[in-house]
Structure 1
Amino acid sequence: MDFEEHEDHRAIRQAVREVCRQFDDDYWMRLDAEHQFPWEFYRELAKGGWIGIAIPEEYGGGGQGIAEASIVLEEVAASGACMNGASAIHLSIFGMHPVVLHGSAELKRRVLPPVASGDLHVAFGVTEPDAGLDTTSISTRAVRDTDASGNGGYRVHGRKVWTSKALESDKVLLLTRTTPKDQCAKPTEGMTLFVANLKDPAVRITPIAKLGRNAVASCEVVYDGLWVDEEDRVGEEGRGFRYLLDGLNAERVLIAAEALGIGRAALRRAVNYAKERVVFGRPIGQNQGISFPLAESHARLHAAELAVREAAWRVDARMPAGEHANTAKFLAADAAFKAADAAVQTHGGFGYASEYHVERYFREARLQRIAPVPQEMVLNYLAEHVLGLPRSY
């Protein structure tokens, strides 16, 4: 067992930190308040090739693994960008994974190079208001049809929610039902993935008002007869759910890395404040009521980091990683929230003030315990698939 960080990984951290130093906490606070997408930040990362780090080299990407992608997202979040910065690039970094694995050669040739360069913006359309985490119950339908020229394709009708970055994106990786659930042998069958157009008159996008991460909008998207060419289908019809499962462990690792970064940012600000803030003639960090929660946060973040590193390593080595990826997500989300909560408490009343930024960290750390899967569903997985307990849902 070797816990020394690879030289390449250290180089990635340093390079991403250099980019992030150009965008301070005030930048992120302003964009969050104004609901403005961080275009300058996105373009700087794209210029450095970081957007395409996990896309194969043959399609213009960096050809790196989940370990490297997780480092990029961790450092972005740790810079103070938190989820606003990470969400701006997350889907471009890994959202196209099903296309990489299952898309036709022609689809990969058309889509992956502009995604890797940062020129093509993509969103992810899975969640629906009446289905939630019960993905097999989605009702968005794609029905085979022909266009005016006689070309084969599909007409899509339905509604998705929590489609992040829909306002800025050109394309969406869209999960639909091509066969009704009651006509399938298994509920996971009959779902199909497409790389569909978002900038189309048949698509209506409405931002959802929410607690935080407001620089990157989360949207309701209504599809009213959207035309999708057959060539834009990912893999075989009816196997879309299985294609999504291929990327779940990697997604858990990336989300865990982002949570880890938020926790690091919160702890850094809290420690600095505890050293500088003097009350009753001494720095407040001298008081165990302040120092112990921060020390505990450090310990929790360190433990979560080890879980994230192991899970990323297992995913890249193509080893079983369900237990490890879910554990990493659970521990990192929990550690980040506790660190952000301790940071707010350390600042006292000023923790509630926007100018100290920790209230923004707190809001974004809270999200990590909900999205993309809540802590309870992670525990469901571990209870059933690791401990062998009866399925609870």
Structure 2
Amino acid sequence: METSGFTEEQLTVREAIQKICSKYPDEYWAARDESGEYPFELHAQLAKEGWTGIALPQELGGASLGISEATMMLQTIAESGAGMAGAQSIHANVYATQPVAKFATPEQRQKMLPRLISGEWRACFGVTEPNTGLETLKLRTAAKRDGDEYRVSGQKIWISSAQVASKMVLLARTTPLEEVKKPSEGLSLFFIDFDKNAPGLELRRIKKMGGRAIDANEVFFDDYRIPADTLIGAEGQGFKIVLHGMNSERCLLAGEALGLGYAALGRAAKYARERVVFGRPIGQNQGIQHPLASAYMHLEAAKLATYHAARLYDNSVHDSSITQHAIGVACNSAKYLAAEAAFTACERAVLAHGGMGYAQEYHVERYLRECFVPRIAPVSREMIMNFVAEKALGLPRSY
């Protein structure tokens, strides 16, 4: 990747994360992809050196850097060969804590965030449900007030790191959908203990295509009790609060996709330089050169879109001319472009290896399996195009 134009802070982050990730080569990640074992070592080292709190307040133990630097961190992790699995080991702790840092009371922040930053706690994010998918406003998981507690019942799906998490940032409905004037009302955000030994909580691990070192789960709540003081912000305002984390997640996922694409392209170029057929390296043939060169240019273009979006997100804190509309369009566009560029790079990396691209030992097949994640999650390509068509082009809403 061309690093011209990045800030000193971003390049410092890149250098520090590269040093950490150099201890975890492709073989480490291939073994964990095979076994499904969680990368505890990487998470522990990132926490020890202060990186889990990269975008959280300094007074709580964080680094008080921006989403621009956090995006660079996650891109660098993915680019090291760790791919989506490595990046996802810290992903939720970066973005899911943003609404907590912004909307929790000072007492809640002091209670909730320092031990996440230190690595003592690990959090997962509970939003998606099996029967609503992308229709977040129709979530059915209910949290009913009962004195000093809420009783939670419902189901979440595709919850990453739930097997190892001790906390969950949970979006649940505190007012039934049938009783609200607008669907965006009646949802509330909680920061809860995720005690898998407590009554009313059950997990079921999902077998999946790639990134198998990071568990994905169905989570079942059945009258699971949580203290009322775990509510973040006002009851019924959870959707507005959680939106604060969604744009940042678009940037982070775009960075992860970029890292995966650059990793795949680097391996493809190396193989093309070294593999000799008919007396010449295959990389001398334009049939190999051109697809890889095109993939590189698409990654570079997506990189510019990604860090433009992250910069808008960060600068909006002190620049009132930057609207949430502009941030939303930029962050969604960046996620789309980076995911597509990563897919192209990973596919062409496999093809450049020929038959060996299908072999686990060259790692590009693992990259290809993982590159579907940013195309699908946390929002599909099609929904992003719907959003951009409506918000940027003024076309009628189609969903």
Give the TM-score, by structure 1 length: 0.97
2:83 maps to what in 1?
82
Shift of 1:8: 2.1
**Could you tell me which of 149, 153, 159 is aligned with 2:149?**
153
1:53 maps to what in 2?
54
Shift of 1:138: 1.1
Shift of 1:5: 2.1
**Could you tell me which of 313, 324, 327 is aligned with 2:330?**
324
1:184 maps to what in 2?
180
**Could you tell me which of 252, 260, 277 is aligned with 2:250?**
252
2:319 maps to what in 1?
none
Q: Letter of the aligned partner of 2:19 in structure 1?
A: E
- Confirm or deny: 8 A CA contact 1:194 1:232 kept in the other structure: yes
2:231 maps to what in 1?
233
Alignment of 1:193-272 (within 5 A): 193-199=189-195, 200-272=198-270
State percent identity of aligned pairs: 47
- Confirm or deny: 8 A CA contact 1:82 1:262 kept in the other structure: yes
Q: How much is the aligned-residue C-alpha RMSD, in angstroms?
A: 0.9
Q: Is 1:351 aligned to residue 391 of structure 2?
A: no
Shift of 1:4: 2.7
Alignment of 1:111-126 (within 5 A): 111-126=112-127
Q: Letter of the aligned partner of 1:153 in structure 2?
A: E
Provide structure 2 residue ranges, at least 5 long, that are not aligned to the other structure: 317-321
Provide structure 1 residue ranges, at least 5 long, that are not aligned to the other structure: 147-151
Q: Letter of the aligned partner of 1:118 in structure 2?
A: G
Q: Is 1:373 aligned to residue 374 of structure 2?
A: no
1:362 maps to what in 2?
368
**Could you tell me which of 382, 390, 394 is aligned with 1:388?**
394
Q: Letter of the aligned partner of 2:135 in structure 1?
A: D
Q: Letter of the aligned partner of 1:267 in structure 2?
A: L
**Could you tell me which of 302, 306, 309 is aligned with 1:308?**
306
Q: Letter of the aligned partner of 1:342 in structure 2?
A: R
Q: Letter of the aligned partner of 2:279 in structure 1?
A: G
Q: Give the number of aligned pairs.
A: 386
Q: Letter of the aligned partner of 2:111 in structure 1?
A: R
Query: Segments of 4+ in structure 1 off by > 3 A?
Result: none
1:103 maps to what in 2?
104
1:149 maps to what in 2?
none
Shift of 1:326: 1.0
2:11 maps to what in 1?
10
1:162 maps to what in 2?
158
User: C-alpha separation between the residues in 2 aligned to 1:93 and 1:240?
Assistant: 18
Give the TM-score, by structure 2 length: 0.95
User: C-alpha separation between the residues in 2 aligned to 1:306 and 1:84?
Assistant: 24
Q: Letter of the aligned partner of 1:375 in structure 2?
A: R
Shift of 1:63: 0.5
User: C-alpha separation between the residues in 1 aligned to 2:201 and 2:393?
Assistant: 44
User: C-alpha separation between the residues in 2 aligned to 1:117 and 1:7?
Assistant: 25
User: C-alpha separation between the residues in 2 aligned to 1:93 and 1:136?
Assistant: 23
Q: Deviations over 1:213-268 (max 9, x none)?
A: 11001100001111111110111110101101122211111110110000000000
User: C-alpha separation between the residues in 2 aligned to 1:367 and 1:392?
Assistant: 24
Shift of 1:125: 0.4
User: C-alpha separation between the residues in 2 aligned to 1:211 and 1:74?
Assistant: 21
User: C-alpha separation between the residues in 1 aligned to 2:45 and 2:105?
Assistant: 31
User: C-alpha separation between the residues in 1 aligned to 2:384 and 2:286?
Assistant: 33
Q: Is 1:23 aligned to residue 24 of structure 2?
A: yes
Q: Deviations over 1:74-94 (max 9, x none)?
A: 000000101111000011122
Query: Secondary structure, in 3 states, of the residue corresponding to 1:331?
Result: helix
- Confirm or deny: 8 A CA contact 1:52 1:118 kept in the other structure: no
Query: Secondary structure, in 3 states, of the residue corresponding to 1:84?
Result: helix
User: C-alpha separation between the residues in 2 aligned to 1:388 and 1:276?
Assistant: 50
User: C-alpha separation between the residues in 2 aligned to 1:306 and 1:256?
Assistant: 11
Q: Deviations over 1:273-319 (max 9, x none)?
A: 00001111111111111111100011000000100111111000112
Query: Secondary structure, in 3 states, of the residue corresponding to 1:33?
Result: helix
202-211 vs 331-340, greater mean Cα deviation: 202-211
Q: Deviations over 1:142-192 (max 9, x none)?
A: 11113xxxxx11000011000100000001111111111111010010001
